[in-house]
Chains A and B, each alone.
Chain A
Amino acid sequence: MTSRTDVEAASGAKSGTLKFVRTLANISKDAGSVAHMRCEVVGDPPPIKIKWYKNEAPLEEKRPKITIKKIHMQTHEHAVKNIAGSRLRITNLDVSDVGFYTCRVTNGKDQIQSEGTLRVDSSKTRHGE
């Protein structure tokens, strides 16, 4: 069973047959930079669906600004059959990206979610990242 020390059981991080291996963190970034978020879940039955939400609204992929990718666990150090993960990448951050981001996972039996905030500071000059 994968259990890492840097993972804290946040509220809603565990629900019956599902458990977060990695929950979302609260992050602060400068405008123009890139934000990465990832969530990983183990479960039996294995997680089948991971969906992202931003401020309660479903988040759709919109390349190149918003990319959502499955994490392929074969390459993962703690490769376990029953693990699934998703990675969200938002580039060229601005105030419209500020919000509560939620990753919601189901395995047909249970549903769990993890929430993290993204803040963007637009008050500094945009140079580099």
Chain B
Amino acid sequence: MSIHSLYFPLDRFRNIGLQHFPQLETAQMIETYDVAASSICHGLKGLSQGQGKLCQLSVDHMPSVAKGAKFGILECQHQFHDRRWNCSTVSDESVFGPMLRIASRETAFVHAISAAGVVYSISRSCRDGQLSSCGCSRSSRPRDLKRDWIWGGCGDNLEYGYKFTQAFVDVKERERSFKRGSREQGRSLMNLHNNEAGRRIDNDCEIDKCFSKGCYKTIQSNVQVSRSFWKLQLNHLLAATRFLPRNWYVSFNVINVDVTVNEMIIVSQVLIICAGDFLLDKYDGATEVRVNRRGRLSMRDPRFSLPTANDLVYLDESPNYCLPNETLGSLGTHGRICNRTSSGMDGCNLLCCGRGYNTQKTTIRERCECKFHWCCYVECKTCVKSTKVLLSFKM
């Protein structure tokens, strides 16, 4: 494992998604560059100089950027909840603390999922008419779209979301120039690569894959989609919207509803989940790279094939995240709940890093007896139950 304590200017724009900035509530109303925009942008801690400038020209986009960054962080925490590194955040404006300083696969994932979150959030805001400079998508029908899907109407403007995110997120990496072949340049290239992988994830969420994964591509609204499809998907959709724990959907089967336009509201959350699922696969298959003298990323192990623009890349091996280590940004796993019967990462063996665990009686409050109301919210009661949990030991 290599430890690099080198200072690298971190990309901190995610901070605006995590902390509460009251000025974002009015930002949507400001269309033109003026003093108000300037004061809003100055107060958004975490933006780089270039991002601050873009903020001034697109201040109405900032609430969507914040929402997208938050989507990304939440999805990251969902995807990693049962791993040693669980995407936990810290309260300062770096959001992830020193952890992002290591050019690890976790850092790669954070960059990609945040970019994906911003793409979806901006695309949705265009569609909803919340941004002055964009509207509905005008993309043509994908060739592989199944016949019973109707294409038309006003859809998420993913092209715009992609381009805006590219300008906004990547500018941070281009503001400073580094010596060709230096570690800093390598890190900058790594971030750019992973940002792009996150933005492109939409290409990976193809219709067929989505049927098995329970997500789907950018379907356009104002259309009536196949009823059988919806019956199949609605449960998953509801589970996916975070109204509910994911596995809850098993308990209700078919809802007798007229499936129309209204359901489309759920789409953008589904897209981010799709991105999360795919990016987790990419995380597991991420490629270790290094920067060569010509200032390009190349394979550390030449036996492996080159990563594509959709793959995640990293420069450094990850720490094991078992013990707290401030320089590495690792919180350690002590006090985390483990699962005795699991042989996966959430199993007591792996999560507790061999230290063993404590059994503790505790009460859990959870949502129960949930009912789905048309359309579209879920009402739940809160149940309190006492249970035993297994907590990972301290060293």
Contact = CB atoms under 8 A, between A and B. Distances in A.
B85 interface: no
B306 to A, nearest CB: 23
Interface in A61-105: 94-100
Interface string A115-128: 00101111101000
Contact of B171 (A56, A94, A120): A56
Contact of B175 (A56, A98, A122): A56
Contacts of B33: 117, 119
A99 B132 contact: no
A121 B54 CA distance: 14
B175 A57 contact: yes
A55 B50 contact: yes
Contacts of A94: 160, 163
B154 to A, nearest CB: 12
B164 A123 contact: no
Contacts of A100: 53, 56-57
Contacts of A56: 48-50, 53, 171, 175
A73 B358 CA distance: 80
A55 B171 contact: yes
A1 B272 CA distance: 60
Max chain B Cβ within 10 angstroms of own Cβ: one of A55, A58, A121: A55
A122 B53 contact: no
B171 A98 contact: no
Nearest first, the 9 A-B pairs at minimum CB distance are A57-B174, A55-B50, A56-B50, A96-B167, A96-B163, A100-B53, A55-B53, A123-B135, A56-B49
Interface of B: 33, 48-51, 53-54, 56-58, 132-135, 138, 160, 163-164, 166-167, 171, 174-175, 177
B357 to A, nearest CB: 49
B18 to A, nearest CB: 23
A98 B50 contact: no
Given A57-B174, A123-B133, A95 B54 contact: no
Max chain B Cβ within 10 angstroms of own Cβ: one of A58, A99, A122, A125: A122
B319 to A, nearest CB: 32
B50 A123 contact: no
A13 B239 CA distance: 58
23 contacts: A55-B50, A55-B51, A55-B54, A55-B167, A55-B171, A56-B175, A57-B175, A94-B160, A95-B134, A95-B160, A95-B164, A95-B167, A96-B163, A96-B166, A97-B167, A98-B57, A98-B133, A99-B50, A119-B133, A122-B133, A122-B160, A123-B134, A123-B135
A98 B167 contact: yes
A120 B167 CA distance: 13
B252 to A, nearest CB: 41
Contact of B163 (A57, A95, A121): A95
A119 B50 CA distance: 15
Contacts of B163: 94-96
B53 A120 contact: no
B385 to A, nearest CB: 50
Contacts of B138: 125
A122 to B, nearest CB: 5
Contacts of B50: 55-57, 99
Contacts of B48: 56
A97 B167 CA distance: 8
B132 A98 contact: no
A117 B177 contact: no
Contacts of B54: 55, 98-99
Interface in A29-47: none
A55 B135 CA distance: 24
